[in-house]
Chains A and B, each alone.
Chain A
Amino acid sequence: MRSKIEKIYMGIIFVFMYAPILTLIILSFNTSKSRARWGGFTFQWYINLVNDNSVLNAMANTLIIAMVSTVFATVIGTLTCVGLMGLRRRSRTVIMGITNIPMINADIVTGISLMLLFKVLRFETGFITVLLAHITFNIPYVMLSVMPRMKTINPNTYEAALDLGAEPFYAFRKSVLPDLMPSIIAGALMAFTMSIDDFIITYFTKGSGFDTISTKIYNEVKRGIQPEIYALSSIIFIAVLVLLFASARMRQRQAAQRKDVALYKVEKRISKGKAAVIAVASLGVILLAMYFGGVFTRKNNQLFVYNAGEYIDPEVIEMFEAETGIEVVYDEFETLEIMYAKMVQNDGAYDVICPSDYMIEKMMNAGMLRELDLNMIPNRKYIGKQYMESARSFDPNNSYSVPYCWGTVGILYNKNMVKEPVTSWDILWDEKYSGEILMQDSIRDAFMVALARNGYSINTKDPAELEVAAEDLVKQKPLVQAYVIDQARDKMIGGEAALAVIYSGEVIYTQRENPDLAYSIPDEGSNVWIDAWVVTRKARNPEAAMKWINFLCRPDIALMNFDFITYSTPNEAAREMIEEEDIRNSEVAFPDESILDRCETYFYLGEDGDALYNEMWKKVKSGK
């Protein structure tokens, strides 16, 4: 009876632990890219994975970092624990206290503080800095696992061994180490796991062009995960599971052999052989990882590109590399603010970036950008005149940026759930739709909605007007299901919500997946935005950057990108080449003048303006 209850209890916890993983595995076979919909069974994502160099790269980096840092951390951590026993209690407490710091601190604080250190030491962030950071946060896991065991170990045996004439190391190996071994292994396992699992610290210490699997995932989580990641996770998971069962089998067989005393020596040799196998396998993985991984970064003739997530057709990158012989190191940012933070940390990390209007202005003011060499970008002539004109609002001479995509902000709604016409932002305050509304989790867009609703300029710096907008947003909060960025896409496709504030570029894609969706730009007006390519002032390869921009302006390339990302292209020649007429003349992708007349672009508001918005936003977020 009792053991039955125990089994049931373990079973329940098991289900709890594994239900999400099962979900991920099922999703890896889902034809639909959306999490919320089952589109049929496919192996496509597994096949894609084989050809996806960036994912394999990130995986290799993750493994090598995890293995190397675990070995270092385990050795250092265990030695320290043993050494600590001989120290006075006070120094022991102090050292354990220091050890607790990286564990106890918010990962982000550890990450940032290490980032500051590397900056002062002028380390180039990349593989080495991530490795150092991982060793640093892994040591405490080993020590916290070994230390409780160390304390329960009885010193008498060790002392007895010494009394009987054993060398200290021999005595330690024979009397203490076997007792410690389970906790050392547990600690090493923990360290390895933590290293694989870590995201935040890696994120702040990684530098450009170097990704582990978790930073890669983070870039994609909010944007909508590539199903290849699910496939990869499933493979890792199954591989680990198989290894685990295999080693358990081996252990069982050994246990059976152990009963036979005569086989004792054979068994020892087996365990030595096993150790050799493990060592060789580890070495193999490390070598493979070094081959595939970005351990040795920054070669000549490389171009470091920093773009928003899923904002280019990956084939375009390959074509550029093939045509120019330049190797592209491609990174994605999640929001413009994160991109900016990264640039402040290291303004030479990237050569060419694709921010939005107000952020370009901010970067220009901060002196981060370089004037374009227009002779090298003849294809700029394909960009429509009106877009160049709009771009003057942030780049007065059109000398720093070349428009890449543009669009509006509006309301995406589900026609089955919203029966009335959507003409005003007020519908987002309608209690009928409580819990069915998705707001943008970005400061400017959220405030834009509230400001436009009240008839204020979306670039206002008037504290009184902002106060009204902030109050509106607080009032709206109970009705809001969630503040999201790109998850809005998946949630709307899945029918999770009735209304969402969204960028027009997502509309064509979401409508393809769910025909019940419709888009509207409210009468009060909205934001029209332009994303444009800029070259950084400290770019190490500005020439390649100009070539990159020129390449993207080529009509056939712009068309490829449009087909892939469905964000409106300012490239007139590309637009004419769009085959489907309803898309070429789509009201959503290419709204006419009457709609654009009521839309405004964002301006950079200056440091004071930014601070004011930030403060108000925090109030909204923490308000009831």
Chain B
Amino acid sequence: MTDKKTSRLLTSPYIAWAVIFILVPLAMLFYYGLTDVNGGLTLDNIRAIAEPVHLRALLLAVVLSVVSTIICFLLAYPLGMILAKHKLSSQGLITTLFILPMWMNFLLRTLAWMTLLENRGVINGILDFLHLPEINIINTPGAIVLGMVYNFLPFMILPIYNSLSSIDDNVINAARDLGADAWQTFFKITLPLSVPGIISGVTMVFIPALTTFAISTMLGGSKILLIGNVIEQEFTLTYDWNLGAGLSIVLMVFIVVNMVISAMSEGDDSSERRNVKRFFSHTSGSDAGSGKDER
């Protein structure tokens, strides 16, 4: 859309910024991760991930964060559809209401969950009053998953809602006119068109969930050690920056995986989907689109 020169001009400030504040610090991290206390080159800090203590923490973190991501997706997608469907003037309001809880600090909200979930906490108090059996999930992996879902759900809602609301109604109507039923329309049109949003959402939930340590500390009673806790302790407690950096480098494998996935989805972009869009944009496309947003 923009020519090369303008593009370079527009992107260069950010590229400079990214180099100084993302890449250089990262290089320092690699320096720490690949050296020992005396500055000698070593791979021990990376290999340390194979130690049972670290491996268990990593696996548990992966399991819990995958479960949380799936739950977030299952909760957020229908919500995104509902929000995107009602293109009322209050849609911004409703969306914001789902983001609003984040304006209370996340440590505070997690603290509130402790109060709610405790064995003699608010929820059990209510259950007791109703003569229902009590729940004891505080300090279990279940509580951690709950905390993750609660804290990261907005990260899933927002991108999914964004990409769903940018789907042109005419595409959907056309599919229906051409005889597709509701399910076919959903699986052939809506879902594929919302893939960029889903990928954003999954990234935004999975990674913070994978690396969290505050949630597992507070809702897991410090009994459950995730990889985030291990790294945090290397930096703040045992003061082994080299090992902490080494383990962080291992975590970065997930970045690479993520990069590959988003690159793949971009490849997707060029195929069928874009042709569909091209076709419809000629008939009614973006004018209606831009008008819609001003409302």
- B7 CB within 8 Å of chain A: yes
| Alpha-carbon distance A152/B214, docked complex (angstroms) | 37
Known: A112-B245, A154-B277, A248-B92. 10 other contacts (CB 8 A): A17-B150, A21-B101, A80-B14, A97-B263, A116-B28, A144-B200, A178-B290, A193-B102, A196-B103, A237-B103
Q: Are the CB atoms of B213 and A98 closer together than 8 Å?
A: no
Q: Give which listed residue, A6, A13, A251, A621, contacts B75 with CB less than 8 A.
A: A13
Interface residue count for B (Cβ, 8 Å)?
A: 128
Min CB–CB distance B292 → chain A (angstroms): 9
- B131 CB within 8 Å of chain A: no
For B277, what are the chain A residues with a Cβ–Cβ distance below 8 Å? Answer: 152, 154
Which one of A85-93, A422-430, A568-576 contacts B? A85-93
Q: What are 21 A-B pairs at a CB distance below 8 A?
A: A13-B153, A24-B109, A24-B111, A80-B14, A83-B7, A83-B10, A104-B252, A107-B211, A109-B245, A113-B29, A144-B203, A149-B162, A158-B1, A193-B102, A197-B105, A199-B214, A214-B105, A240-B100, A251-B89, A621-B225, A622-B230
| Alpha-carbon distance A27/B111, docked complex (angstroms) | 11
For B214, what are the chain A residues with a Cβ–Cβ distance below 8 Å? Answer: 199-200
| Alpha-carbon distance A249/B232, docked complex (angstroms) | 45
Interface membership of chain B positions 56-80, coded 1 if the CB is closer than 8 angstroms to chain A and 0 otherwise: 1100000000000000000100110
| Alpha-carbon distance A98/B244, docked complex (angstroms) | 21
From A154, A176, A196, A200, residue with most partner B Cβ within 10 Å: A154
- B26 CB within 8 Å of chain A: yes
Min CB–CB distance A204 → chain B (angstroms): 8
Which residue of the partner chain A has the closest CB to B149? A16
For A477, what are the chain B residues with a Cβ–Cβ distance below 8 Å? Answer: 223
Q: Are the CB atoms of B93 and A156 closer together than 8 Å?
A: no
For A13, what are the chain B residues with a Cβ–Cβ distance below 8 Å? Answer: 75, 79, 98, 153
Interface residue count for A (Cβ, 8 Å)?
A: 132
Taking Cβ atoms with an 8 Å cutoff, the residues of A that contact B are: 6, 9-10, 13-14, 16-21, 23-24, 27, 35-36, 76-77, 79-80, 82-87, 89, 92-93, 95-110, 112-114, 116-117, 120, 132-133, 135-136, 139, 144-145, 147-149, 151-159, 168, 175-176, 178-179, 181-183, 186, 189-190, 193-194, 196-197, 199-200, 213-214, 217-218, 221, 225, 229-230, 233, 236-237, 240-241, 244-245, 248, 251-252, 255, 335, 337-338, 340-341, 344, 435, 441, 443, 477, 480-484, 491, 494-496, 610-611, 614, 618-619, 621-622
- B207 CB within 8 Å of chain A: yes
Q: Are the CB atoms of B263 and A484 closer together than 8 Å?
A: no
| Alpha-carbon distance A341/B244, docked complex (angstroms) | 13
| Alpha-carbon distance A260/B99, docked complex (angstroms) | 33
- 4 nearest A-B residue pairs (beta carbon): A482-B221, A83-B10, A86-B7, A113-B25
Min CB–CB distance B72 → chain A (angstroms): 11
For B286, what are the chain A residues with a Cβ–Cβ distance below 8 Å? Answer: 153-154, 156-157, 175, 179
- B281 CB within 8 Å of chain A: yes
For A36, what are the chain B residues with a Cβ–Cβ distance below 8 Å? Answer: 115, 118, 120-121
